[in-house]
Structures are given as structure tokens and as C-alpha cells.
Amino acid sequence: MLQIDRYLMRFLRPLLGNAFGTDSTVVLGTVILSFLVLAESLVCVFWIFALSSLGEGYAFMAAIPYVYIIISYSSLLIFYRLKRFDSFTFTQLVMLLVIPFFMQWVIGGFQASSGVAFWAILSPVGALMILGTKQSTPWFLLFTALAAISWYLNALFADHALPIPEHLKNGFFVINMAGVATILYIAMRYFQSQKSKAMEALALEQARSDQLLRSILPGAVADRLRGGNQRIADSHDAVTIMFADLVDFTRMSADLPPAEVVDLLNMVFLRFDQLAEKYGVEKIKTIGDAYMVIAGAPDARPDHAHVIADMALEVPEVIADLSKTLGQSFAMRIGINSGPVVAGIIGNTRFSYDLWGDAVNVASRMEHTGLPNEIQVSAATYHLLKDDYLFESRGLIDVKGKGYVEAYLLKAKRIRQ
């Protein structure tokens, strides 16, 4: 019994899926409804033969389940061709609801029919699984109304009942009770299995969404965004920003196919991503052939300048390794500055975590005015690092929007004796 629903649904799903399209909700609803109709049809066949065996006087009773089969499968074929799932659903739910009650009335009430109206419960249950909670309510109310009518007029129906052998009534009662219970269990079991698959797929999609969100936003910011905080804007008093830019990359890439340009940048920035992860700094974005990272935001840390300096000192090694691997000489300018910034999320469809403030502009100018394969830092960063690193002064350099400012070249980390 546990395998019946699996094999039956395996047969029905591709057949009805082709008939009603590929929408998973429609396919699931069609499979469940078709299973209910098929199961009740098998019981109708039994009723036809059982009632017909009692004599000609029972022909009208036997004709009711026969008519149900004809109408039900005719509508199934019609809607199979028209692909009107809503009409198919309505017709089948009506048949499932009305025919069992009508058959009970004709046979002679609840006792004489052995409670054949139990089968009508498949209609509101099917509506619940297919149409949902709200739309299934009217079907359940109709079932309740027909049940009340059957109870109220049961004596009237019983007065016109034809005699049915006791053993046959008992057999019908067992079939009605066990049949409805079995069909409901199989249908609900299939529905639950599909629900579990849908929940697993949803969980997988949520995990992918979270992973994608974390790949474009810092982890702490992504957590706040998922928590419902749609407006993220923070002030950070002490951060260090680094810009790194490939020297003459525009000229070098002018003669390369677009795919090779993208592959080259991807190879370079993949190594930078590995460095950022190694030192625990946040990649903000890439701008063309420039790479921007920050330490101290979104999570504050006292060693923000030191970790950026350590990462920057490892960049020349990475560039040398790439130059050797690709057989082409590359050079980078690196600019670093420290200070306060404002950081936050912009956009509501394509999120971007970005930085604003004078400290960002100065870091960018440190890179623009820097030298190939050198790490140029501002005076603000120099004062944070001078006790632990070796520098070479560049004196005063002309910075756009700032005039002449002090700049230094970061050379190495001091070796403590």
C-alpha cells in the first residue's frame, strides 16, 4: 500500500503534466484531483456490479455511479484538450461532492447505503489541497449543508429504500469507510511528499540567495538586511581604505578580445579576493581595473591600518607571480588613507555597499598620484603605522582638491630585534 501512490503518481504526473502545462502547482493539483477521481471511479465500478446483481429493480441505483464515470471522464478528456485547469477542477469537485449524496438519497438514506456519502468528503479535502485554505471553505460548507439535508430527510429517504442484503450492506460499509480513509491517506501522503520537496527546494534556494547576498555585501550588513533593516547607513570614525589599480591596463587590453580582458581581470582580482579573505578586510567593489577594500567597517577593529598595510605589502608578490604565469609584465599603483567614513546600502533591487567621505577621496588620490609598484599612503595612515613599518617620504605632492599634502611610500614591516 505504501508504494501505490508512488507508482500511480509516477504514471499520472507526466501524462497530466503534458496536458496542463509545466506549472508545478497546476501539475500537483491535477495529479491529486485525477487520483481522487480514479479512486472513486474504481469504487463506482464495484457499486455498479453489486447493485446490478440484485435485480432489475436496482438498475436506477446502478446507473448513478455509471453516469458519474461517463460524465467525469468525458469532462477529463474535454479539459485535457482545452487545458482549462480551473474548469476541470470545478467540474470534478462538483461531481465528487454531489454524486455520493445523491446516490445515498436514491438508495434509501444513510443506513441503506452504508454511508456512501462519506465519499463526498473527498471534494472539500481535494479543494483544500488544490485550491488552498480560503477557496476550499465554500466546498466544505456545501458538504456540511448536504450532510445536514441528508440527516434531516433521512427518514423520508428510508421509507423508499429497496431491501439490500445485510452482508452486502456490511461489505459496502467496510468499503466506504476503508476506501475513503485509504484514498485520503494516499492523497495526503503524496501532497505532503510534494510539500517536503518544495520546502527542501525553498531552503536550497534560500541558501543560494544568502550566499549570493554575502558575496556582494559584508556578512554583518547582509544579516541586517535579511533581518528587515532596509535602511543601512553607519558612521565609522576610524577606517583604512586601499585602492589598487593596474598601470596602463587600458592600453594593454585595447588589442585583446573582450573575453580575454574579462578573464585577465578575473584572474588578477581572484588573487586579490584571496588576500582580502586572508587578512579579514572587506572588498567594497572593483571599478574597471581598480580594486577597493576597507578595514574597520562594517565591523570596527583597532588594527585597521595594519591589516591593510600587510595586505598591500603582499600585492607585489602577487603581481610578480601573475606576470610570470601570464608571460606579461604587470604593475600596480596602490593608495592608502585612514579616517572617518559613512558606509551604507544604496539601491533596492541591486544592492551595493559603498563608502562616502573625504577619507575615501584622499585614498583614491593617493593611488592616482602614486608610482608603479609602490604603495603610497597619506600622512594620516603614516602616523598610525610609523612605529611598525618602514617608510620613504615623498615630500609634498599635488592632490586634486587638496593642494599639496604629505605622502609616504610604504616599504616594509619593521623587524623587531
| Residue-level pLDDT at 364 | 93
333, pLDDT greater than 90:
yes
pLDDT over threshold 60, residue 135: yes
CATH 3.30.70.1230 residue spans of the chain: 228-413
- The answer to whether residue 269 scores a pLDDT higher than 70 is yes
Q: Which amino acid is at 193?
A: S
Q: Which whole number is the average pLDDT over 380-404? A: 92
pLDDT at 19: 43
State residue 9's pLDDT score.
45
Per cent of the chain over pLDDT 90 is: 27
Residue 13 has a pLDDT of: 45
Query: How far apart are alpha carbons 98 and 12 in whole angstroms?
Result: 25
Which amino acid is it at 269?
F
pLDDT score at 176: 82
Going by pLDDT thresholds of 50, 70 and 90, the confidence category of residue 15 is very low
Return the CATH number of 228-413, one of 3.30.70.1230, 3.30.70.270, 3.40.50.80, 1.10.645.10: 3.30.70.1230
**Across residues 175-183, what is the average pLDDT?**
83
Q: Return the higher-pLDDT residue of 417 and 167.
A: 167
pLDDT digits (tens, 9 = 90+) for 277-318: 999 998 888 888 899 999 998 888 999 999 999 999 999 888
C-alpha of 122 from chain center = 32
**Where is average pLDDT lowest: 111-120, 360-369, 370-379?**
111-120
| DSSP characters over 392-404 | EEEEEEEETTTEE
Residue 350 is predicted with a pLDDT of 64
Measured between alpha carbons, how far is residue 394 from residues 42, 86, 149, 406 in Å? 93, 78, 98, 7
The predicted-structure confidence for 378-387, as pLDDT tens digits, reads as follows: 999 999 999 9
DSSP strands (E only) in 261-308: 282-287, 290-295
How far, in Å, CA of 335 to CA of 410, rounded? 10
Highest mean pLDDT among 167-171, 316-320, 338-342: 338-342
What is the reported pLDDT for 2?
38
Name the CA radius of gyration of the chain, rounded.
38
Distance between CA 25 and CA 329 in Å, rounded? 57
In the 3-class helix/strand/coil scheme, how is 299-342 assigned residue by residue?
CCCCCHHHHHHHHHHHHHHHHHHHHHHHCCCCCEEEEEEEEEEE
> In b/e form, how buried is each residue of 128-149, taking b as 16+ CB within 10 angstroms?
bbbbeeeebeebbebbeebbee
Alpha-carbon torsion angle 134, 136, 142, 144, nearest 10: -90
The percentage of the chain sitting over the pLDDT mark of 70, rounded to a whole number, equals 85
DSSP per-residue codes, 87-107: HHHHHHHHHHHHHHHHHHHHH
Greater pLDDT, 213 or 302: 302
Q: Which of 13-17, 28-32, 148-152 has the lowest mean pLDDT?
A: 13-17
Task: Look at residue 26 in the predicted model and tell me its pLDDT.
Answer: 60
10 or 342, which is more confident? Answer: 342
